[in-house]
Amino acid sequence: MKLVSAEEAQKNGWDVILVGTSFASFFFAYKLKGKGLKVLFVERGPYVDHDRQLENRLHRPAGEVAQENSSGQRKDWTVRHQFGGCSNCWWGNTPRLQPSDFELRSRYGVAQDWPVSYAEIEPYMIEAEYLMDVAGSDEAGYAPRSAPFPFPPHVPTRAERRLFKAEPSWQPMPCARSNGGRRPACCVSGTCNLCPIDAKFTILNSLDLFADDGFQYLLDAECRVVETAAGRAAGIVVNTADAGPVTLRADFVGLGANPIYNSAILLRSGIGSERVGRGIHEQLGQFIWADIPFDNYYGGTSLTGMGYGLYDGDFRREAASVLIESWNAPPSLRLERGKWLQRLKLKLVAEDLPQASNRVVLKDGEPVVLWTGHSDYAYAGLTRGRELLPSLIPFEHEIVRVGGFEPTEAHIVGGTPMAWDRAGGVVDRKCRVFGTPDLACLGAGVFTTGSAANPTLTLAALSLYAGELL
């Protein structure tokens, strides 16, 4: 990778500047390869290779998000200021958003439909799965597919073998934790936030896939504003420790920071509609443990199964969709002699709806999240999930513990939503900011609505889609 200083970057004119170095920017850039373009990636943090991350595993450069939380419950936000962003710390789960997730208004009268459909994005989901060497089951029928998974699913747990056989709504969890391909096979240590053997896909271990002679990188430089001229993006202003504020010129700018910081950049720049920063949200999760009369675990990766029995249906008019996760590692053990492994560890993950009261604002030029809490819709989904879960477990079990509401699912969504027009959102169906056609927002911030499913695969697919349209 070719690194440049701020002074060198300032001397050049760039075809494209991409802010951020995680999934959003790199999957967008994948579609720019081989076109003779001069592309500059601007990263707020340092380059920290995998070995140094392991050496300093308790001192990773995690970002702190300022917030004013009036919800009465703890709320955390997961961001990473380093090369590769949250690809360094994600767990690698890659379920798809379902067709219904794109059509909540037309199907259930809730929120808004996306201006793009599942069918339009699905080919790019396939492409993203192949870039990440995703392991999954071609027999799983909940998300229509136009091509098989690159690699077969990991070995299920002993409980999941019974679940998969008895109830088709239970399926293997697709994931980018290797089960074949370029990286070592998953070690099943349950430490996926920092994989000790580099089995999961990260930007760091897959840079060769995105390499191009025209791609260069500026590190330790924070994008503050996007500059415009005559209604078009003209470049960005960055802050660096050594050079101070520096203006970088470009014909096209893509914001691939996380949804909070993309919103902050637009707010500082005075670009976008009044919806910028509004509706920031993520899923709401809750663990549930059940004792069972046989040994569990022995699966081939950390999260090996998922359940769709609570995911879709007319109930979504009143209550959120819920995805059930089945955990293999780290295991939860029974403290009874001879029954150590006789436990089922599940997690209910509910979608949430964007609410205008949850938003990003600027205070002294810095982003602050005003958090008023998850919606009643999300809590209703979890209530429904707790009530119906026993009927979805087709063997003897006893629920012994229900956890509290998790403070984060590490899946920030919204703030720059996609819509048909400026009145409904911030970006159009090409991810371009309304009124500024040479400026794109990338990542889960453009999701019109969230989903119970993890957003990473879909946001990577959207970046491929947007990059191809450039």
Going along 377-417, which residue ranges are E strands?
398-405
The pLDDT value given to residue 243: 79
Q: Which residues of the chain have a pLDDT value below 50?
A: none
Taken as a whole, the chain contains a residue count of 470
Q: For residue 458, what are its two tokens?
A: 């879909």
How far, in Å, CA of 114 to CA of 428, rounded? 10
For 202-241, how does the pLDDT look when each residue is reduced to its tens digit (9 = 90+)?
Answer: 999 999 999 999 999 999 999 999 999 999 999 999 999 8
For the beta carbon of residue 57, count every other beta carbon within 10 angstroms.
12
Question: Which fold, 2-153+175-281+359-370+412-469?
Answer: FAD/NAD(P)-binding domain (3.50.50)
CA atoms within 13 A on the CB side of 323: 28
The pLDDT value given to residue 58: 64
How far, in Å, CA of 435 to CA of 273, rounded? 9
CB 342 within 8 A of CB 293: yes
**Most distant CA pair in the chain, distance:** 74
CB 327 within 8 A of CB 345: yes
For 421-455, how does the pLDDT look when each residue is reduced to its tens digit (9 = 90+)?
Answer: 999 999 999 999 999 999 999 999 999 999 999 99
CB 172 within 8 A of CB 164: yes
- The reported pTM is 0.97
Listing DSSP states for 164-204 in one string gives: HHH-TTEEEPPBSB-SSSSSPPP---S-GGG-TT--B--SG
* Three-class secondary structure of residue 107 per DSSP: helix
The pLDDT value given to residue 57: 77
